[in-house]
A = this chain, B = another copy of it.
Amino acid sequence: MPDWFRRATTRLDVPRIGTREPRVAARVELVELTPATDAFLGQAAYLQLAFVESLARCAGAAPTTQAKEVLARVAALAIAKQRALSDLIAERGGDPAELMDPYVPTIDRFQQLIRGTDWYEDLVSNLVAAGFLDEFLVQVGKGLDGDVAGRVARILSQPTGEADLLALVSAGIDTNPRLASRLAMWGRRLVGDTMLLARSILVMDADDEANVEPVFTELIAAHTRRMDALGLTA
């Protein structure tokens, strides 16, 4: 990721004239929209905690012991990420709970929005939300200060158990092919809420907001690949 697009944290507030080239404005990159370190870490840590909860709920509702075990293992991956982020916060002299707290309402509401009507929808929610948001946070995290950026990248690039979740969903579709169209629709609905949450993490002025759309293109492509892997047209 080239560093030369990186914008200084305090920007000069030059009055903008209407003749400004729209192409320049379109150049906004995720690393320019990275929140302050504490805000980033608080949101990233609470998101992992929210994933733990929803994965554990999926484990509880799993129809087989084997699926239950797989989900406990996937939840352990999110717990490990959460702990690593909390450790990083503590090393920096912060209190993990204090940094997470301001983001609880937004992230809990997001989790409610992506809660499915059955176990398979919940699996797809976890797959899509964790897949998209972990990747998003890795990109956004590149805008943090050097040392923290490296730690965050290492933590959030750890496996999410995506392949395990995919296998559970695929097995369900094999047994009941009618699931496919419902889950495809569900996946399409999820990505909207997920992008809105991602967007809410970014620090943007009005210009950024007008031009942020393209930065999601790559992430949506990854989402589409995930849905394709399930044979679900996203």
Contact = CB atoms under 8 A, between A and B. Distances in A.
Contacts of A96: 65-66, 69
B46 A52 contact: no
B53 A65 contact: no
The oligomer's copy count stands at 2
Contact of A73 (B68, B72, B83): B83
A59 interface: yes
A56 interface: yes
B69 A59 contact: no
27 contacts: A46-B65, A49-B72, A52-B72, A52-B75, A53-B56, A56-B57, A56-B59, A56-B60, A56-B75, A57-B57, A64-B97, A65-B97, A65-B100, A65-B101, A65-B104, A69-B96, A69-B97, A69-B100, A72-B79, A72-B82, A73-B83, A75-B75, A75-B79, A76-B76, A76-B79, A76-B83, A79-B79
A84 to B, nearest CB: 12
A106 B196 CA distance: 44
A65 B73 CA distance: 22
Contacts of A76: 76, 79-80, 83
Chain A interface residue count: which class?
20 to 34
A191 B113 CA distance: 39
Given A73-B83, A79-B76, A79-B79, A60 B53 contact: yes
Contacts of A97: 64-66, 69
A49 B68 contact: yes
A161 to B, nearest CB: 12
A72 B101 CA distance: 16
